[in-house]
């Protein structure tokens, strides 16, 4: 299924899911589901419009990413410019995330709105060839047109998780006891995880790694970078952001808790590195 089909599927799922929640709320709390279903249909429609047009901006704001120009960081800007030229795509915008954890991601609705974002930490951790490999991986996502699916899935899954937490909060501190709606809430977070796993397969990361190796013509540099990033993020994970955004990053930036594992869409690092090392011995990809 292409990125258009996946994005449409996500939006359709969101409509069905919210209308279903509206039906349950209307049935158990208001005696009539019609008003609640219409209300939640409107909420789903609004969320779909917002996520389609603004999901990349929401993600950039979530991580306080700042769009830069060449004079702000010539090293990063010129590497992105070089890789975009070699990949034969339009120059994406470049952003820096003020985090010490070394990582990177691509976001945007299409090639015209694409943004390649790196953390402040990655600029300190990687040499130029390794950084070029990482940027090539992210440019690979842009070429494959899957960053919209990534951004939309992360935003929608995050919204579902927030909804689940709000209802849990009300049930815990309110006067209401166990009822059927609570049973529905109990599966909201796993459904959010399922959205990401259905929309963003692990194959996507393998494909972006392969694209990155072909664009940079240096699979070993990308493999070295992944090993460094995996080690550093495991040692110093992100603690105060929503794990539903983990799939955006080139490596999982969150601690391997049970909740985070639900949202994991990254293949094992050992397998990614192995494939890249094998590419380094096969020059047919050049």
Size of the chain in residues: 286
Q: What is the DSSP letter of 63?
A: T
The vertex-158 CA angle with 157 and 161, nearest 5°, equals: 90
Confirm if 105 and 249 have CB atoms less than 8 A apart: yes
Locate 230 and state its tokens: 């995996």
Among the listed residues 70, 82, 130, 138, the single catalytic one is 138
Helix/strand/coil for 145: coil
Burial of residue 279 (CB within 10 Å: 0-12, 13-18, 19+) is buried
C-alpha 126, offset from chain centre: 22
Q: Is 130 a catalytic residue?
A: no
Burial of residue 189 (CB within 10 Å: 0-12, 13-18, 19+) is buried
Could you tell me which residues come within 8 angstroms of residue 251 by beta carbon, excluding any fewer than 6 positions away?
103, 226, 229, 230, 233, 266, 269
Burial of residue 264 (CB within 10 Å: 0-12, 13-18, 19+) is middle
Mind telling me the catalytic residues? Answer: 138
């Amino acid at each position: 299924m292409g990125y258009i089909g996946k994005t449409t599927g996500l939006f359709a799922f969101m409509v069905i899911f919210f209308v279903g929640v509206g039906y349950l709320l209307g049935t158990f709390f208001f005696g009539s589901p019609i008003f609640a279903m219409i209300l939640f249909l409107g909420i789903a429609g609004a969320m779909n419009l917002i996520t389609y047009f603004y999901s990349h901006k929401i993600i950039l704001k979530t991580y306080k990413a700042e769009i830069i120009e060449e004079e702000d960081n010539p090293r990063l800007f010129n590497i992105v410019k070089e890789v975009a030229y070699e990949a034969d795509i339009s120059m994406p915008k470049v952003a820096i995330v003020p985090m010490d954890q070394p990582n990177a991601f691509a976001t945007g609705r299409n090639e015209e709105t694409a943004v390649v974002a790196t953390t402040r930490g990655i600029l300190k951790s990687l040499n130029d060839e390794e950084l070029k490999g990482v940027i090539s991986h992210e440019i690979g996502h842009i070429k494959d047109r899957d960053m919209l699916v990534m951004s939309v899935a992360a935003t929608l899954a995050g919204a579902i998780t927030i909804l689940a937490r709000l209802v849990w909060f009300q049930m815990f501190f309110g006067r209401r006891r166990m009822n059927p709606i609570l049973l529905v809430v109990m599966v909201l977070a796993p459904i959010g995880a399922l959205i990401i796993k259905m929309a963003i397969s692990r194959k996507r990361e393998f494909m972006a790694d392969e694209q990155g190796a072909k664009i940079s013509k240096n699979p070993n540099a990308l493999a070295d970078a992944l090993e460094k990033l995996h080690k550093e993020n495991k040692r110093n994970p992100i603690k105060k952001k929503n794990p539903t955004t983990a799939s955006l990053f080139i490596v999982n930036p969150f601690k391997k808790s049970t909740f985070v594992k639900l949202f994991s869409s990254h293949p094992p690092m050992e397998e990614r590195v192995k494939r890249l090392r094998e590419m380094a011995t096969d020059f047919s990809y050049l």
